[in-house]
Amino acid sequence: MSPLQLALQFALLAFSLTGLSLLLWRGKTWDRAAAGVVLIALTLSYAIDNASHQGFEFGVILIDAAAFIALWLIAEQAGRWWIVMTAALHLVSSLVYVAPFLTATGLAWAAMTLIWVLWLVTSLTFFFGVWEIEAARRFALGGRYGSTLDDGGGPRAAPSME
């Protein structure tokens, strides 16, 4: 791996860990469970990376597939969009590993680049998740404690859209 690739990998790792840390800090139970699944999958992927002698990372595929299933089950209970997006991205990244079997080496490198892009987008969903958590908290306050959100609730008429 070249020094540029290594630096990019560490930058993506730091970005991901920052987002996951924020989710663990600000999230509720299901958010923390989803962040834990991603953190475990990330740790296990690094632990068995390059363990295959033929270049096919069967263990990483199993980890990503298991993470997809766990995230989808959590998303069914949590009702958070960031978890749904993260689960979908894990599914796509699991399917990308099949690309080297379908064509020549050039597409295999394109698939690896796509996996890094998916990793970046997944990391962005962590920050979207933090925003979603804070928006849900603010919405739950319903105008208390300085919140200016008007959701039309309470013992009065709903705001009109005229």
Q: Which band of pLDDT confidence, cut at 50, 70 and 90, is reported for residue 70?
A: very high
Instruction: Write the DSSP symbol of residue 55.
Output: S
| CA separation for the pair 63, 2 (Å, rounded) | 26
Decide which of 30 and 97 is more confident.
30
| CA separation for the pair 153, 158 (Å, rounded) | 7
Q: Which band of pLDDT confidence, cut at 50, 70 and 90, is reported for residue 156?
A: low
| CA separation for the pair 14, 162 (Å, rounded) | 48
Is 17 a residue whose pLDDT tops 90? yes
